[in-house]
Amino acid sequence: MEILVCVKRVPDTSENEIELNGAGNDIDRDDLVYSVNEWDNYAVEEALQIVDKVGGSVTVISVGDDESEEVLRREMAMGADKGILLSDDAFENVDGRGIATILKAAVEKGNYDLIFTGAQADDGAAQVGGMLAAMLDVPFASLVNTIEVNGDKLKIGREIEGGNQEMYEISLPCVLSIQTGINEPRYVGIRGIRKVASVEIPTLGAADLGLDAAAVGASAARVQRTDYFLPEMGDGAEILEGSTEEIIDKLVELLKAKGGLK
């Protein structure tokens, strides 16, 4: 089984507070700590477990700048066999459709049975996997939280509401978007990173992929973010202040009044 996993370098929200910059039109990107999108780790782990069972290889791929190479290397330290970076000035500020178009061109240069994306990334869009499948004209399932290989077919579960699961039989090749919780991604130590530090990661640009830069780039993006802002919400919470003791006294009174203590 040849598996391709699409990964993305994102600001790590557990390491950063995401705030607006001084001008209020973008997030403050100074000193942001980046890491691999959380969902993608589950996707890579699932690919590795499938290859452990049925054989094959795992390739990780990312659309991004040079710094995305560290993310590919991290996933290779988990056990992925190959990394491919798709990078070009023309790929800056593309929309989701543009990312899927770039990935499609790269997929067609390989011979993959199965393609994974994370179910979503930092922008919460959850769009690239479904678009990529439609462009490749192969089956797709999102929010996948179990996979069982049965010959040239997969039995998969999708996470739906209420903790229930929708089961499908799906034929290969296909694209699946992987939900967190499907497995327990393995730990990557510093030694693992060192082992793959000098492995060459090929970089492909628009020309290598046979893409017309004008057709995938920012000028072709029909969906564009114009700015970031903080929404005006309602009153928000009443923040309890004072010493811990004072806060606890206030909270206990409130809990009593609202039926929170039995």
Strand partners, 10: 35
Binding residues among 145-174 for other proteins as defined by CB under 8 A = 155, 157-171, 174
Strand partners, 61: 6, 84
**Closest Cα partner for 27 from 123, 124, 128?**
123
Sign of CA dihedral 36, 52, 108, 168: negative
- Give the number of other Cβ atoms within 10 Å of residue 109's Cβ: 12
135 binds other proteins (CB under 8 A): yes
Query: Measured from the CB of residue 198, what is the shortest distance to other proteins in angstroms?
Result: 33
**Closest Cα partner for 127 from 152, 149, 95?**
95
Among 15, 123, 148, 246, binds other proteins (CB under 8 A): 123
State how far the Cα of 4 lies from the Cα of 62, in Å rounded to an integer: 10
State the DSSP string of 176-189.
Answer: EEEPTTSS-PPP--
Q: Which stretch binds other proteins (CB under 8 A): 59-67, 78-86, 210-218, 225-233?
A: 225-233
Half-sphere exposure of 70 (CA within 13 A, CB side): 9
236 binds other proteins (CB under 8 A): yes
Give the contact letters, 3-42, x = binds to other proteins (CB under 8 A), - = no. Answer: --------x-xx--xxxx------x---------------
- Please answer whether residues 141 and 121 qualify as being in contact, where contact means their C-beta atoms are separated by less than 8 angstroms: no
109 binds other proteins (CB under 8 A): no
Query: Measured from the CB of residue 31, what is the shortest distance to other proteins in angstroms?
Result: 16
Query: Measured from the CB of residue 7, what is the shortest distance to other proteins in angstroms?
Result: 18
Query: Measured from the CB of residue 91, what is the shortest distance to other proteins in angstroms?
Result: 18
Binding residues among 58-87 for other proteins as defined by CB under 8 A = none
199 binds other proteins (CB under 8 A): no
Comparison of 125 and 214: residue with beta carbon closer to other proteins: 125
Residue 112's Cα: distance from chain center in Å?
19
222 binds other proteins (CB under 8 A): yes
Q: Which stretch binds other proteins (CB under 8 A): 46-54, 74-82, 204-212, 243-251?
A: 243-251
State how far the Cα of 177 lies from the Cα of 49, in Å rounded to an integer: 16
Query: Measured from the CB of residue 56, what is the shortest distance to other proteins in angstroms?
Result: 21
- Please answer whether residues 33 and 11 qualify as being in contact, where contact means their C-beta atoms are separated by less than 8 angstroms: yes
Query: Measured from the CB of residue 17, what is the shortest distance to other proteins in angstroms?
Result: 6
